[in-house]
Structure 1
Amino acid sequence: MEKGFKNSVYAILAIGALFIIGTISINIVLKNKLENFIQERLPDNMIRAFEDITVETFGGSLSVTNASLIIKNKNNNIEHTFINVEKLKISDISYWDYLFNDEIHIENITLENPTIAYYKDRVEKNKDTPSNGIISIYKPIVIDRIKINNTKLAIYEKSKDSTNLYTKGLSVELDGIRIDNNTIIRKIPIEYDTYKAKSDTVFVKVGPYENLTVRDFSIANRNARFEKLTLKTKYSKKELSRLITKERDHYDLTLQSLSIDNIDFGFESNRFFAKSDMVSLVAPILEVYRDKLVADDPKIKPLYGRMLRDLPFELTVDSLKITNGKIKYEERVKSENMGGSINFVELNATISNVSNTYEKPETTNLKITADFMDNTPFTAFWSFDVNNKNDAFLFKANVGALVADKMNSFTEPNLKVKLEGRTNKTYFTIDGNNENATTDMKINYSNFDVTLLRKDGKGEDKFLSAITNIFISKNSKNKEDNFKEGTAEATRDKTKSIFNFLWISVKAALTKIMI
């Protein structure tokens, strides 16, 4: 018994030793093969380095620490992409699926603290590269989960203000990934089930004049939320006017939060699409300044229907909601001052069918409520059909009591006109298209006077004021429930915006009623 027991113990120890030696040997062999692959099998235009590789055959995992990769152009050897990763870990590689199911199955891939810098202007475009099939996948790759933690990403371009995009604290998780020879040739070369992402700071240069920043954002379960978003012109108003040769608005937009619900995007028939059930903007504050002393931009300004219709991708947003917004518009017409302003506060709006995919009889509809010039109730309904090639639209508005001198902050510096009196109630409907509009208006007003100022804006031009007020009716009628009504037509200047079209339509009707 003792001899048999000893033999059994020796056999177990021998097997254990063989297993340990075999495991160590296999680990060493696999490590050497992986190192050789990194050093010899990767393309010559990829400069790679790492501190250490650890292979655990029994657990089916490997780790690479302090890895770096530099990618350069094949022809001129200019370096354009720099990647550093503190730790790359691949866990639970299934040997069974590799041997018997003819696929590479990995449970987890984790990247810790990657830093990525990409110089887009340095990339050399290779005209000889085929558009499809540039990579062949030996076996389908299935990955249960990829996690990229705490990424710092920067994209640069060749310019004085070179940062195109920057983010830090970016973490991304993808679940249910599959890559094969069918997916690799698509615009999005992988399939996945779900994704999550979050980041602390995002900066995007959206053009030569504006920058976008986001304090933090998160995406989970196909819902996205962005906090403290800003879109601002990076130059002061005076600097912008010096830099531009054609008229351009100066923007200052801040958003408390932006939410996008039930996001879906991808490609269908090689055309990109983006969908959402609801987009919500909370507490947007928008200030727009236009210097009219700068030369006009003669480009045709499309109406919103055409802008949606001509998008290079398919957009479907069922509903868009704006809550507690503020808008201030300043315009400078005279060189001796910085212009005047009008504003809307407590602005709330719902917009349905923001889309270029709907078909008749669906239309895009806007319902807006706000306080105009601080305390004048304003409601509007705006409707148009994206599929209408004439860009027909209907704009209805209801304006409450307005003390006329509230408008003087805009009319005095820009028009050299001072208003006195009161409009009690105003209704108007604009039925228009890309060419012209007809405006029906009715208005109740009282004690209305117009004072024309001298060119320097410092005093009244009494003669012209007297002549003007001869032709202006001071009251709609004595009773507050009576209205003066009128209809007028206006022709659109296609080099101006839709808001200019709305304004000249209202002005035409108002002029006809009062004079």
Structure 2
Amino acid sequence: MKRSFKKIVYTVLALGAVFIIGTVSINIILKNKLEDFIKTRLPENMIRSYDDITVETFGGSLSITNASLIIRNKKNNQEHTFVNVEKLKISDISYWNYLFNEEIHIENISLESPTIAHYENRIEKNEDSRRNSFVSIYKPIIIENLKINNTKLAIFEKGKDSTKLYTKGLSVELDGIKIDKKTITQKIPIEYKTYKAKSDTVFVKLGPYENLTAKGFRIENRNAKFNDLTLKTKYSKRKLSRLITKERDHYNLSLNSVSINSIDFGFKHNRFFAKSTMISLTAPSLEIYRDKLVVDDLKTKPLYSKMLRDLPFELTVDSLKITDGKIKYEERQNAENMGGSINFENLNAEMANVSNTYKSPTKTEIEIKSNFMGKTPITVNWSFDVQNMEDQFQFRAEVGQLVAERLNSFTEPNLKVMLEGNTNKTYFTIDGNNTSSTIDMKINYSDFKVILLQKDGKDKNKFLSTIANIFISKNSEKKDEFYKEGKANATRNKSKSVFNFLWINVKEALIKILI
């Protein structure tokens, strides 16, 4: 009995020893194979290092601590991309699928606190960027879940103001990932089922003059929300005027939030597409300043229909909504002052079919309600067909009671003109295209008067004011008429904006009616 028990004990101990030795040996073999893969299978222009590799055969997992990767040009060895990861962990590797299904199947991959820095200006122009210059895919890779936590990402370009993109606290999670010989050659080299992401801070350099920032964003279930966005010119108004050689607007835009619903994007026939059922902008506040003393930019300014039509990608936005917006436009035309302004408050807008994928006769429809210069209600209906090559459009507006003096903040410093009186109700419709337009207007007004100022803008020019008011009809009422009506034509200056075109129409109609 004792001998039998001893044999059992010895057998169990022997099997245990074999199992332990076998497990340790397999761990060592797999670790050596992984180290060999890192040394031999990665391209020579990638410098890699790490502190330690841990392999757990029984649990089917491995981890790499303090891993780093440096990518350099093949020809001149200039280093341009730097990646550091505190810990990379791969869990639940399926050996069965690897041995019998000829695929690498992994349950989870996590990267903790990666830091990525990429220098665009260091990449050689003729550097081979084909997919096969990186890791070749010999077996399909299936990853059930990939998590990248607390990332710092920065992209730099040449120059003193070199930061092109920066984000911190970025976390991304992808489910249902597949990588194979087919996907690795595509524009987006992986396929996935779902994704979500979030970040604390985002900075994007939009060009030499403007920056975009957001305090944070979250994307989940194909819905995104960006908080506290700002788009600003990074120079003061005066400094921008000194730096530019041609006229350019100074911007200051802030938004409480931007929500994008049902996001879809990718490539179709090698052309990028982006879709959303609804984009909502909450409490946008936009200030635009234009210095007319700077030389005019005479290049052609396209209308919005052409801008959408000529986008280098397919855009489909079913609806776009603006809630509680503000717009202030300042214009400087005289050196002795900083110009005057007009403003819109309590602006609410709904837009349909903001897209270049819809076919004719589907139109982009814009409806706007706002208060102009304080208390004057204004309603706008604007429509155009993006696919119409002549850029035909219709712009209809209804303007409520306006005290003319409220416009003096703009007309007095810029035009040396003061206005008096009231417009009680104004309707107008503009039918136009890329070159010309027709406007129909009817207006009810009373006690209207124009006061022309001296060149210094301080004193009245009594003589010219008297002459001007001889030709201006003070009231719209005459006998049984309540509204005065007028029709005018306008020709577009294609070097000016669409709003300049609208203003020319209104001005021509007012001249017809008032004089």
TM-score by length of 2: 0.98
What corresponds to 1:438 in structure 2?
A: 438
Select between 176-185 and 33-42 the one with higher mean Cα deviation.
Answer: 33-42
CA shift in 2, pair 1:37/1:211, >3 Å:
same
Contact 2:63 2:88 in 1 (8 A): yes
SS in 2 for 1:245: coil
CA shift in 2, pair 1:480/1:410, >3 Å:
farther
Contact 2:74 2:127 in 1 (8 A): no
Q: Distance in 1 between matches of 2:126 and 2:462?
A: 73
Q: Distance in 1 between matches of 2:479 and 2:379?
A: 24
Q: Which deviations, in whole Å up to 9, do the C-alpha atoms of 1:136-177 show, x marking residues without a partner?
A: 311000000110000000000001200000000000000000
Contact 1:444 1:480 in 2 (8 A): no
The offset of 1:203, in angstroms, is 0.3
CA RMSD in angstroms comes to 1.4
What corresponds to 2:99 in structure 1?
A: 99
What corresponds to 1:272 in structure 2?
A: 272
Q: Distance in 2 between matches of 1:203 and 1:395?
A: 37
What corresponds to 1:504 in structure 2?
A: 504
Q: Distance in 2 between matches of 1:428 and 1:115?
A: 57
Q: Distance in 1 between matches of 2:354 and 2:107?
A: 40
The offset of 1:5, in angstroms, is 2.8
Q: Which deviations, in whole Å up to 9, do the C-alpha atoms of 1:276-305 show, x marking residues without a partner?
A: 000000000000000000000011000011
What is the one-letter code of the residue matched to 2:43?
P
Unaligned runs of 5+ in 1: none
What is the one-letter code of the residue matched to 2:62?
L
The offset of 1:460, in angstroms, is 0.4
What corresponds to 2:23 in structure 1?
A: 23
CA shift in 2, pair 1:130/1:117, >3 Å:
closer
SS in 1 for 2:279: strand
What corresponds to 2:388 in structure 1?
A: 388
Unaligned runs of 5+ in 2: none
2:47 matches 1:47: yes
What corresponds to 2:59 in structure 1?
A: 59
Give matches, 1:85-234, under 5 Å.
85-126=85-126, 136-234=136-234
CA shift in 2, pair 1:270/1:383, >3 Å:
same
Contact 2:267 2:273 in 1 (8 A): yes
What is the one-letter code of the residue matched to 1:230?
T
Contact 1:315 1:357 in 2 (8 A): yes
Q: Distance in 1 between matches of 2:84 and 2:361?
A: 54
What corresponds to 1:306 in structure 2?
A: 306
What corresponds to 2:14 in structure 1?
A: 14
SS in 2 for 1:38: helix
Q: Which deviations, in whole Å up to 9, do the C-alpha atoms of 1:228-261 show, x marking residues without a partner?
A: 0000000000000000000000000000000000
What is the one-letter code of the residue matched to 1:227?
N
What is the one-letter code of the residue matched to 1:287?
E
Q: Distance in 2 between matches of 1:173 and 1:408?
A: 55
Contact 1:351 1:367 in 2 (8 A): yes
Q: Distance in 1 between matches of 2:281 and 2:59?
A: 48
2:351 matches 1:354: no
Q: Distance in 2 between matches of 1:337 and 1:491?
A: 31
What corresponds to 2:320 in structure 1?
A: 320
What corresponds to 1:297 in structure 2?
A: 297
SS in 2 for 1:390: coil
CA shift in 2, pair 1:51/1:164, >3 Å:
same
The offset of 1:3, in angstroms, is 2.5
Select between 477-486 and 424-433 the one with higher mean Cα deviation.
Answer: 477-486
2:367 matches 1:367: yes
Contact 2:43 2:133 in 1 (8 A): no
Q: Which deviations, in whole Å up to 9, do the C-alpha atoms of 1:73-97 show, x marking residues without a partner?
A: 1111111111110000010100000
The offset of 1:44, in angstroms, is 2.0
Q: Distance in 2 between matches of 1:346 and 1:217?
A: 26
SS in 1 for 2:348: strand
What corresponds to 2:342 in structure 1?
A: 342
SS in 2 for 1:329: strand
The offset of 1:478, in angstroms, is 6.4
Q: Distance in 1 between matches of 2:339 and 2:403?
A: 20
Q: Distance in 2 between matches of 1:129 and 1:502?
A: 48
CA shift in 2, pair 1:163/1:314, >3 Å:
same
What is the one-letter code of the residue matched to 2:439?
T
Contact 2:41 2:135 in 1 (8 A): no
What is the one-letter code of the residue matched to 1:492?
R
Contact 1:133 1:185 in 2 (8 A): no
Q: Which deviations, in whole Å up to 9, do the C-alpha atoms of 1:445-475 show, x marking residues without a partner?
A: 0001100000000100011000000000000
The offset of 1:479, in angstroms, is 8.8
CA shift in 2, pair 1:128/1:82, >3 Å:
closer
Contact 1:133 1:184 in 2 (8 A): no
Give matches, 1:360-509, under 5 Å.
360-477=360-477, 482-509=482-509
Contact 2:454 2:460 in 1 (8 A): yes
The offset of 1:129, in angstroms, is 5.8
Q: Which deviations, in whole Å up to 9, do the C-alpha atoms of 1:102-141 show, x marking residues without a partner?
A: 1000001100000010001001133666577975311000
Select between 130-139 and 293-302 the one with higher mean Cα deviation.
Answer: 130-139
What corresponds to 1:2 in structure 2?
A: 2
Q: Distance in 2 between matches of 1:129 and 1:323?
A: 44
What corresponds to 1:329 in structure 2?
A: 329
The offset of 1:32, in angstroms, is 2.1
Query: How high is the sequence identity, in percent, across the aligned residues?
Result: 72
The offset of 1:37, in angstroms, is 2.5
Contact 1:348 1:370 in 2 (8 A): yes
Give matches, 1:217-256, under 5 Å.
217-256=217-256
CA shift in 2, pair 1:479/1:21, >3 Å:
farther
Contact 1:424 1:480 in 2 (8 A): no
What is the one-letter code of the residue matched to 2:456?
D
Count of matched residue positions in the alignment of Structure 1 and Structure 2: 515
Q: Distance in 2 between matches of 1:118 and 1:451?
A: 61
Q: Distance in 1 between matches of 2:479 and 2:326?
A: 34
The offset of 1:421, in angstroms, is 0.5
Q: Which deviations, in whole Å up to 9, do the C-alpha atoms of 1:403-431 show, x marking residues without a partner?
A: 00000000000000000000000000000
Q: Distance in 2 between matches of 1:125 and 1:137?
A: 26
What is the one-letter code of the residue matched to 1:59?
G
SS in 2 for 1:184: helix
Q: Distance in 2 between matches of 1:416 and 1:54?
A: 79
Q: Distance in 2 between matches of 1:105 and 1:450?
A: 80
